[in-house]
Amino acid sequence: MSKQINVALIGNPNTGKTSVFNALTGLNQKVGNYPGITVEKKQGVCKLPRGVKAHIIDLPGTYSLNASSLDESVVIELLLNKNDKDYPDVAVVVTDVENLKRNLLLYTQIKDLKIPTILVINMSDRMSYKGISLDIDYLETQLDTKIALISTRKGKGIEDLKSLIINYKTLSIESCIDIRNIDTNYFEGLEHVFPNQSLYKLWLVITQDVNFGKIDKNTINDATNFKTKSESDLKRLQQKETIKRYQFINNVLKKGQTIDLKSAKDIRIQLDRILTHKVWGYLIFLGILLLIFQAIYSWAETPMDFIDASFASLSEWLSTKLPDGVFTNLITEGIIPGLGGIVIFIPQIAFLFLFISILEESGYMSRVVFLMDKIMRRFGLSGKSVVPLISGTACAIPAIMATRNIESWKERLITILVTPFTTCAARLPVYLIIIALIIPEGTLLGIGYKPLTLLIMYLIGFAAAVGSAYLLNKIMKIRSKSYFVVEMPTYKLPLFKNVFITVVEKTKAFVFDAGKIILAISIVLWFLASYGPGDDFNNAEAIVTEQYASVNLTQDELDEKIASHKLEHSFIGITGKAIEPIIQPLGYDWKIGIGIVSSFAAREVFVGTLATIYSVGTDDEDTIKNRMAKETNPFIGGPLYNLASGISLLLFYAFAMQCMSTLAIVKRETNSWKWPILQLVTMSSIAYLIALIAYQVLK
């Protein structure tokens, strides 16, 4: 037996596929993109008995092998391509015990591909609650497979599933239905032309508009030309195939499944009436957001203060323990403050992902999508656009990827263009540090001013997204029409393991992705801030000493003046002074300007950049927040970070397109540089204009 088994995890959306994946792999997971496209894939390793490892690949959710979107076509391409390194030795089809009839359609299709297939019936703990009973032996016989009845919530059946996976070679690969009965002449003709190929595989190659470039080139590369029937005739055959499969499924479930509706207890209808109500639904959602932001501030304050103080102490301790020199300065003034500028926000970002994960796991997020569809339609967006806009609160990149299930090109393009307005986790560090500096303590109706301000920033981002969508819908002369269908999953208590894995993986990805950028930028910034051209930098000590000879300064005050003079005449100071006239009307000095320019790599770099700049050349190893609070405005005096400049900065980051990775994804999704360049220019111009107006009014 091979020491590694390739396992494809397949299923409809909302069947608990992610829970099964997490139960099998735990934290042994990694996330990437399918080659050539930006549909996310999750992979993991599962240890099986006898030292065997299973490579688990979690395929995008799909209702059938009749693909209607790009993520669904990914499933078909893998299952038809034996040359793919991830081609499964065994397929595990995950179904939901409450929607078994619908889920089994996909199972029968995969079984017909001659792939060993295991049927997983998930959420078995709800059977008694819903009045459902199953005859597993009968179902296994009729479906010609082995069934794992599991409950990821109760942790039952996972070991049985592992046992079935390791013994996959004993599974039958016989088809569930004979596809030739749909149209005998057509399929027998197809079989005659390609005698050595799977008939159902050929049928999928002919009917699906997906990429089959590497699939058995020598034998079936011209199967797509076997369209002796018109497009409408092929569609009718697909419909007949679906009917035939459901006839088979209905016959199996007549004896294999019993549902006693009298014993079924369900409060879902009553909850849906409240949570999707045209008034109460929005108020409840707004209330939940307020609670989330209040909790983010209240719960995260202590660990954030601890992390901030720890990094300051670490820099101070290392500066006393390490020998004086360039390397020590790089570590204590560049790397540690830069990394501290992102690590400090781990608690708040983790809490944000925690709450989003709980809302998704509980089934509430689908209700939000349904609720917001009514608003989206008025602004020229599809209800499906809500998914990218909401997921954009984590990161715009996967949110833009999520637009691939929007059939209308116009609605998809508009969604791609406006999604970056949504407040993402990368903006959070900027918002949090600025709000902490300019918004006073206090409450309004029991809600703190700071969490209330953060909520307003999120609402501004969402309003900018839908407002821009409205304008684009009026401007773009693209005719299209689409329909919105969303499945309402049952309400359930979130699984702690799923929530924990989601929070750990997403927080880790955020910190490490940002950390790599910040580490590189911190080193470059430290170098540019520690060295400079000409006598003004090299003779800084003599120049400052002579300048303040008549002033009675302490040694510490003199050292601070020298450090400030060197910083202004360093490479980074010269660069910052060059752009200062452009940003001065917004209330920013050259140091903030450097932070804005460097954060084009990623928004969260802003805080790390300022932490590095404020640390260079000073022995005061204070916290990031205190360093920023001490900065004075070089033009008018007083604190640099006051209400006017702070609000201006918040609004600039609310509207600016400062994420190179997002621009790259937009280019890839639209297959043109036209749209990302338009995004960059338009969003940056709007950000500058609004920040300018805000500062000039408030100053």
Q: At what angle do helices 336-343 and 605-615 cross, to 10 degrees?
A: 140
- Residue 30 — pLDDT band, cuts 50, 70, 90? low
| pLDDT tens digits, one per residue of 217-237 | 344 445 544 555 667 788 888
The mean per-residue pLDDT over the stretch 231-257 comes to 88
pLDDT at 460 over 90: yes
DSSP letter, residue 379: T
Query: What are phi and psi for residue 132, nearest 5 degrees?
Result: -105, 135
Neighbour-count burial for 437-475, b at 16+ CB within 10 Å, e otherwise = bbbeeeeeeeebebbbbbbebbebbbebbbebbbebbee
Show the tokens assigned to 327: 């390397």
Cα 663–chain centre separation: 15
CATH of domain 1-265: 3.40.50.300
If you search the block for the tokens 């501290």, which residue do you land on?
Answer: 340
Q: Report the distance separating Cα 626 and Cα 437, nearest Å.
A: 9
Q: Report the distance separating Cα 74 and Cα 65, nearest Å.
A: 10
Q: What angle do CA 28, 34, 40 make, to 5 degrees?
A: 60
Q: Report the distance separating Cα 656 and Cα 371, nearest Å.
A: 28
Q: Which amino acid is at 202?
A: L
pLDDT at 100 over 50: yes
* Domain extents in the chain: 1-265, 280-475, 516-698
Q: What's the first-to-final CA gap in the chain, in angstroms?
A: 74
- Residue 293 — pLDDT band, cuts 50, 70, 90? confident
pLDDT at 77 over 80: yes
| pLDDT tens digits, one per residue of 125-143 | 778 777 788 999 999 999 9
Per-residue model confidence (pLDDT) at position 654: 93
pLDDT at 540 over 90: no
Greater model confidence, 266 or 424: 424
Using the Cα atoms of residue 205, residue 211, residue 216 and residue 218 in order, give the sign of their dihedral. positive
According to DSSP, the β-strands at 257-259 and 146-149 are unpaired
Q: Report the distance separating Cα 460 and Cα 38, nearest Å.
A: 28
Show the tokens assigned to 382: 């599809």
Cα 699–chain centre separation: 38
Burial class (CB in 10 A: 0-12, 13-18, 19+), 8: buried
If you search the block for the tokens 């407002």, which residue do you land on?
Answer: 467
Show the tokens assigned to 637: 């005096």
DSSP letter, residue 58: E
According to DSSP, the β-strands at 146-149 and 132-134 are unpaired
Show the tokens assigned to 31: 């996330």
pLDDT at 31 over 60: no
pLDDT at 580 over 50: yes
Per-residue model confidence (pLDDT) at position 70: 65
Q: Report the distance separating Cα 227 and Cα 224, nearest Å.
A: 7
If you search the block for the tokens 């038809």, which residue do you land on?
Answer: 80
DSSP string covering 513-538, please?
Answer: HHHHHHHHHHHHHHHHHH--SHHHHH
- Residue 553 — pLDDT band, cuts 50, 70, 90? confident
Q: What angle do CA 429, 653, 463 make, to 5 degrees?
A: 110
Show the tokens assigned to 46: 């599962």
Distances (CA, A) of 159 to 17, 45, 155, 162, 398: 16, 15, 9, 5, 33
Per-residue model confidence (pLDDT) at position 477: 67
Q: What angle do CA 392, 393, 396 make, to 5 degrees?
A: 30
Show the tokens assigned to 224: 């797509």
Contact 443, 659 (CB under 8 A): no
According to DSSP, the β-strands at 117-122 and 90-96 are parallel
The pLDDT mean for the chain works out to 81
- 678, HSE (Cβ side, Cα atoms, 13 Å): 14
Contact 28, 109 (CB under 8 A): no
Q: What angle do CA 600, 605, 606 make, to 5 degrees?
A: 85
Q: Report the distance separating Cα 365 and Cα 285, nearest Å.
A: 10
Q: Report the distance separating Cα 600 and Cα 597, nearest Å.
A: 6
The beta strand positions in 102-191, using DSSP E, are 117-122, 132-134, 146-149
Q: At what angle do helices 605-615 and 428-438 cross, to 10 degrees?
A: 60
User: pTM for the complete prediction?
Assistant: 0.64
User: What is the percentage of the chain residues whose pLDDT exceeds 70?
Assistant: 87
Distances (CA, A) of 402 to 287, 344, 474: 27, 30, 24
Q: Which of 192-206, 404-418, 477-491 has the lowest mean pLDDT?
A: 477-491
| pLDDT tens digits, one per residue of 256-292 | 988 876 544 566 777 888 888 888 888 898 888 788 7
Contact 695, 586 (CB under 8 A): yes
Contact 146, 140 (CB under 8 A): yes
User: What is the percentage of the chain residues whose pLDDT exceeds 90?
Assistant: 19
Helix, coil or strand: residue 119: strand
Q: Which amino acid is at 470?
A: Y
Per-residue model confidence (pLDDT) at position 482: 55
pLDDT at 40 over 90: no
Distances (CA, A) of 52 to 1, 2, 3, 48, 199: 9, 8, 5, 5, 33
If you search the block for the tokens 């300022």, which residue do you land on?
Answer: 610
Cα 675–chain centre separation: 21
Show the tokens assigned to 593: 């300007």
